[in-house]
Amino acid sequence: MSNPAPFGQRPPALRVLDASVPATPILAGRVLLHEHSRFIPRQRNSIDSDLGGVVMTGDNAETRAFKLRTEAGFTGTMLIDSAPYTTHTATENEPFLLPQDQMFATLDDTLGFQKAAGASAALTPTGYIAPGASKPLKAVIRAAQRIERVDTVVTVPVDVTWLSNERVGQLIAACERINQPKALVLVGQFDPLQHAKVIPANLRRVISEVEGMMLLRTDLAALDAMVHGALCAGIGVTSSVRHSVAPGERAKVSKPNGPVYPSILMPELMCFKGAESLANRYANAEPATCPCEVCNGRGLDRFYKTDSETRVDAEDHNILIWSTWVGEMAGYEVGPKRKIWWQEKCAAAINRYPLENQRIGLSAKRGFQPPPPLSAWATLPAS
């Protein structure tokens, strides 16, 4: 592979981990950044090498991941999620999407390609598991039971209705029959956790009752999962990688034809807010400020722009903020103290909403409102 290294420097050799290196210890305790491959891969200083890592996703994710390793020199933990669940619905005969352009491509080849591109562990190319699609889910279990490699995580991209009271027991039973680590991806428009009131609690059940669960392509639900015993989790860098939509659907956005502004993680309020809505809310008041390395005390209303520098700054701010929380969390062992820390942290954020609205002179209706999942994490029993 030719590589135009600048100034004659050789890129660091790519260390490929073979199929005998188990996935579990590599991933344990980490919250990964789910990155979109459409942008030039770059090393982010904001990623914590002990507690973080990257999931590269989107078109040509393997090529981008390889470049992140060889050109940008990234040596941390990395997964490659080519997101087959966005185009392929799992069926009884084809639970996994194997490459169409290569004759006789096997699952083993697909997993091996990811490792050759620099992945620390491999993800199965599982299709989207539609509402109530029990037979395709069983086919995923059977296919997983035939995998002999220990470097593999079984991706379980389920429609969010699998977290309803009627279905969650079946999902738990299915995940328990898969011996490998399992990466749950929730598929649904907007925030899947807001589809029904029971979802945050039922998601916790799946994570806490099944060993080796991961939750990928999500938002702060990643922390709730890690607090309740997940092996690993992944937070999306933009809203499009903080959930997924079913094959054939387009992600609905509140303003379909408008420019795309960054979404900003509010350190005190513990929620992501669009830059436009922040600029509006802080139009006649002092904005909330942020002490992170990127913001350096500046206001959080400054991201209302569409240029790439602003986007990267916003992303790095977000990563620094949630990485700080992951670092705090790692100070508590998995168990009651960690759960109480998280519950109190979410409750404290909820309590700041009326204070912030009062400070900027907005009513509860026109000001900030806590997202329902945050309220659930603050009030659900910690045990």
Instruction: Return residues touching Zn ion (CB under 5 A).
Output: 290, 292, 295, 317
Q: Are 29 and 50 in contact (CB under 8 A)?
A: no
* Residue closer to Zn ion, measured from CB, 44 or 317: 317
CB of 278 to Zn ion, least distance (A): 12
The secondary structure of 245-312 as a DSSP string is: --TT-----SSTTSPPPPEEEETTTTEEEEHHHHHHHTTTSPPPB--STTTTT-BTTTT---SHHHHH
Q: Are 188 and 159 in contact (CB under 8 A)?
A: yes
* Residue closer to Zn ion, measured from CB, 65 or 278: 278
CB of 277 to Zn ion, least distance (A): 17
* Residue closer to Zn ion, measured from CB, 188 or 274: 274
Q: At 373, phi and psi to the nearest 5?
A: -60, -35
Distance CA 259, CA 304 (A): 10
* Residue closer to Zn ion, measured from CB, 144 or 292: 292
**CA nearest 28: which of 265, 284, 231?**
231
* Residue closer to Zn ion, measured from CB, 160 or 295: 295
CB of 312 to Zn ion, least distance (A): 13
CB of 262 to Zn ion, least distance (A): 12
* Residue closer to Zn ion, measured from CB, 67 or 273: 273
Q: Which two tokens stand for residue 327?
A: 């670092």
CB of 265 to Zn ion, least distance (A): 8
Q: Which two tokens stand for residue 350?
A: 């909820």
* Cα-to-chain-centroid distance, residue 90: 21
CB of 325 to Zn ion, least distance (A): 13
Q: Are 95 and 143 in contact (CB under 8 A)?
A: yes
CB of 307 to Zn ion, least distance (A): 18
Residue-wise burial string across 161-195, b where 16 or more C-beta atoms lie within 10 A, e elsewhere: bbbbeebbeebbebbeebebbbbbbbbbbebbbbb
CB of 292 to Zn ion, least distance (A): 3
**CA nearest 67: which of 2, 123, 153?**
2
* Residue closer to Zn ion, measured from CB, 182 or 317: 317
* Residue closer to Zn ion, measured from CB, 278 or 292: 292
- DSSP E strands, the chain: 30-36, 54-57, 78-81, 122-123, 152-159, 182-187, 213-218, 232-236, 263-266, 271-274
* Residue closer to Zn ion, measured from CB, 172 or 265: 265
CB of 34 to Zn ion, least distance (A): 20
The secondary structure of 99-135 as a DSSP string is: -SSSTT--HHHHHHHHHHTT-SSEE--BPBB-TT-HH
